Amino acid sequence: MPMKDGNAYRESLRTLKLNVYAFGEKIDNVVDHPLFSPHINAAALTYELAHDPTAEDLVTTTSHLTGKKISRFTHIHQSTSDLVKKVKMLRMIANRTGTCFQRCVGFDAMNATYTVTYEMDQALGTHYHERFRQYLEYIQENDLMVAGSMTDPKGDRSLRPSQQADPDMYVHIVKKNEKGIVIRGAKAHQTGIVNSHEMLIMPTTALSAEDFAYAVACAVPTDAPGVLHIFGRQTNDERRLDGEIDQGNALYGIVGGEALTVLNDVFVPWERVFMAEEFKFAGLLVERFASYHRQNYGGCKGGVSDVIIGATAAMAEYSGTAKASHVKDKLTEMVHLTETLYSGSIACSAEGAPTPSGAYFVDPMLANTVKQNVTRYIYEICRLAHDIAGGFIATLPSEKDLHHPEIGQYVEKYFKGVASVATEDRIRMARLIENMTGGTALAESMHGAGSPQAQRVMILRQANLERKKSLAEKLAGIKAKN
């Protein structure tokens, strides 16, 4: 089957029988609904670029399973070059969308599951890896979008999964038979889930023997019986129902269209099960996925920052402040922070190495470091954008006021900047900055791919402090301890 283009992707979503709610109402058609169409447009662009000669070297590759041309979003990394191209692809697409295009989570979930199932089989004599290879071939052949489903609601964070008052706070196996398993629970913050074809479920934390029922990895269609999606509120989402200008990025939206996905006794056949109670491997799967996913952020957030920098520079020109030395200095700092993030993602990719499965894995120390930097630098980039753009980005009258027959003339008159730029264009750029630097975008930069503390835990784990201590002791003339 040939790779989909954007229209084929949209049509494939129409065939799904999704159970989706938003604003307290059941949504029968997500493809044409204004709440969802920006996210769908962003994901659709990833399909369109696979057919663009200027982008296909990054967006497509050759399957190591079939030898066929496939989307890179369904690929298993075979070299450090693959890891580097992934980061470059993410920055390029983010440049074109200015937002999340949602396919990274499933991409990372597939790579993590591929490597860990191989090691599980080697250690336990199971057959999960071959099952996953067959599933992956199905995804590649049909060019499907997969949502990576790791984050559980977690309930009382001081308690382990098996200690929760409500056992459904973590997804778990409630039944096993010769045909498959039945799972129950929910996955939170699911990026792009309502416009994905499949969800790849993984455990969200390392598990103990008492938590064995929570050690589950499996693939579930997003419209499978028992699956319910409750769409989350997005910053300024009601503006999508009012007009174009006030949205800022009307075509692609601002964030990834996250949802709470409820799993009410969902049956999963064995051929789609890749971990079932092997609790000792849950932590490894979590760490692999987290590092792959944290690799991304200098690419995708670097690409989004490029757009913020461009919008801020344009706003300075529109307002007549572009030549001020302090404005130039602040723009320079924004560029410096962005390129620092990008270089971290390139570094953790270039320093990657093969796993026992043959698939390549990023350097986990550098991957966690770049994501830790994202949790800080994006806030500073956005702060500088606010500084340069001015306070009016937060107090602008609405698009309806601009176009009002009586009061529109005053909005037009008093929000004028330099004479050569139309007031509406200045307002449009202000709205883009407002939306791209708002609360949801910043929160995703902070907590996407795990909280800052999660990266700090892994950074310390990867730090090899004993080696660093021995270096210092040697230079200090301290004899090695027995």
Question: In this predicted model, what pLDDT tens digit does every residue of 32-54 receive, in sequence order?
Answer: 999 999 999 999 999 999 999 99
Q: Which pLDDT belongs to residue 444? A: 57
First CA to last CA distance, the chain: 63
Q: Which pLDDT belongs to residue 233? A: 87
Using a pLDDT cut of 70, give the percent of the chain over it.
96
Q: Are strands 20-22 and 227-231 parallel, antiparallel or unpaired?
A: parallel
293 given a catalytic annotation: yes
State yes or no: pLDDT of 447 exceeds 50: no
Catalytic residue among 74, 97, 117, 191: 191
297 given a catalytic annotation: yes
- From CA 471, how far away is CA 453, in angstroms rounded? 27
Kindly state the average pLDDT of the residues 102-120.
97
Average pLDDT, the chain: 93
Catalytic residue among 198, 278, 287, 444: 444
300 given a catalytic annotation: yes
Kindly state the average pLDDT of the residues 273-296.
97
Homologous superfamily (CATH) for 292-475:
Butyryl-CoA Dehydrogenase, subunit A, domain 3 (1.20.140.10)
Kindly state the average pLDDT of the residues 216-239.
92
Kindly state the average pLDDT of the residues 256-263.
93
Residue-wise burial string across 227-253, b where 16 or more C-beta atoms lie within 10 A, e elsewhere:
bbbbbbebbbbebbeeeebbbbbbebb
Catalytic residue among 300, 312, 360, 377: 300
How many CB atoms are closer than 10 A to CB 462? 16
The residue among 127 and 253 whose pLDDT is bigger is 127
pLDDT-derived band of residue 367, with 50, 70 and 90 as boundaries? very high
Residue 146 phi/psi, 5° resolution? Answer: -110, 130
Catalytic residue among 97, 100, 214, 375: 100
287 given a catalytic annotation: no
Catalytic residue among 47, 60, 61, 104: 104
The residue among 130 and 251 whose pLDDT is bigger is 130
Residue of 384, 294, 393 lying closest to 336 (CA atoms): 384
State yes or no: pLDDT of 238 exceeds 90: no
State yes or no: pLDDT of 139 exceeds 70: yes
Catalytic residue among 47, 118, 214, 297: 297
How many CB atoms are closer than 10 A to CB 447? 14
Residue 25 phi/psi, 5° resolution? Answer: -125, 145
- From CA 420, how far away is CA 430, in angstroms rounded? 17
Residue of 188, 76, 148 lying closest to 294 (CA atoms): 148
Contacts of 256 (CB under 8 A, 6+ apart): 39, 99, 100, 102, 191, 192, 444
State yes or no: pLDDT of 452 exceeds 70: no
351 given a catalytic annotation: no
258 given a catalytic annotation: yes
Q: Which pLDDT belongs to residue 255? A: 77
In sequence order, what E strands does 196-315 have? 198-201, 216-221, 227-231, 259-269, 273-276
